[in-house]
Structure 1
Amino acid sequence: MTTPAHDAELVRTATGRLLSATVKLESAEVAEPSQLPGWSRAHVLAHLARNADALVNVLAGKPMYASAEAREADIEEGARRSLDELVDDVRVSSSRLESAFASLGDEDWNRTVTLRNGVTDLASALPFRRWIEIELHHVDLGIGYTLDDLPGTFV
Structure 2
Amino acid sequence: MGGADRRVLHRIREENDAGYVQGSLQIGRLDGQLGGRVFRTDITSNAFTVLRGVATPVTIESRSTDVLPSLALRYKLTDTLFARFSASKTITWPSFAQLNPASTLTPAIPGAQPFGSGSSGNANLQPICPDNFDLALEW
Q: Give the TM-score range, shorter chain.
A: under 0.3
TM-score, normalising length from structure 2?
0.23
More helix per residue: 1
Which is higher, the Rg of structure 1 or of structure 2?
A: 2
Q: Looking at both structures, which has the greater relative contact order when contacts are Cα pairs under 8 Å and sequence separation is at least 6?
A: 1
